[in-house]
Amino acid sequence: MIFGNFKETIWKFYYKNKRSFPWRKTHDPYRIFVSELMLQQTQADRVVPKYLVFIEKYKTVGDLARASQRDVLTLWQGLGYNRRALYLMRAAKIITEKYGGKFPKTIQELTVLPGIGSYTARAILTFAYNIPNVFIETNIRTVYLYFFFKNAELKSISDNDLMQKIEKTVDNHNPREWYFALMDYGTMLKKIERAKNTASKTYGKQKPFKGSRRQLRGAILRTLVNESSVTFKNMSKILEGDDRIQDELISLEKEGFILNKKNTFSLV
């Protein structure tokens, strides 16, 4: 497909069907960072109410840096992937202490912060500062597979193949809305036909949540949010004797998320 026709198609759809989200109405890198971490593995409609409450309570990166872990995890309940909340707190403290509360403006500085990888760093720079960057996520992947690899064996197509197309079509004048447009078009495609991103070489299917380590870690943290401290024996009773509890407690302690004092556990 000709790149010009492709871009015209995407823009036309966007102008008629653009979605409205609170994080699209701000250029504050802190608020965009919050939205990006909330949106990881979570549908946008579920994120909106949590995002609004979170931003109301922690209006600035400094507010979040001074927050207690218990309060943040309490507010985070329902989003899952609790590690994201803890990464947010850690990053906020670094930004406050090292950068005086001002968000870094380079990929190199951003990617050393907890919870920020290559995609998130580039997304923050694009959505906050309208700086052209090349990045990919599931809806964008769906769009480029649909338009440029219709007749290809999709399982042979990698994200590197797609990134070449993305780089050639990025809108250098308004990259912020261009990526909004791509994401909206990808969402539409998933509603009308098979989600093609699941067939690409790079895509890894998410493992079931029920019975997973992720579910157990969430249950442990939820227990510690509700109780000031819990002994291993009581934790085992609460979580019905799951034989992985001890390993997960050790893991959470090593990662700096919980404290262990004489086999009694609490949040940091």
Give, for 62, the enclosing helix (H) or strand (E).
Answer: helix 61-65
Q: Of 20, 64, 73, 67, which Cα lies nearest the Cα of 44?
A: 20
Q: Of 243, 198, 193, which Cα lies nearest the Cα of 216?
A: 243
Pairing of strands 230-231, 258-261: unpaired
Catalytic hit among 36, 137, 177, 248: 36
255 annotated active-site: no
Give the DSSP letter string of the chain.
--HHHHHHHHHHHHHHH----GGGG---HHHHHHHHHHHTTS-HHHHHHHHHHHHHH--SHHHHHTS-HHHHHHHHTTS--THHHHHHHHHHHHHHHHHTTPPP-SHHHHTTSTT--HHHHHHHHHHHH--------HHHHHHHHHHH-TTS-GGG--HHHHHHHHHHH--SS-HHHHHHHHHHHHHHHHHHS--GGGGSSS--PPPPSTTSHHHHHHHHHHHHHHSS-EEHHHHHHHTTT-TTHHHHHHHHHHTTSEEEETTEEEE-
Catalytic positions, written as ranges: 36
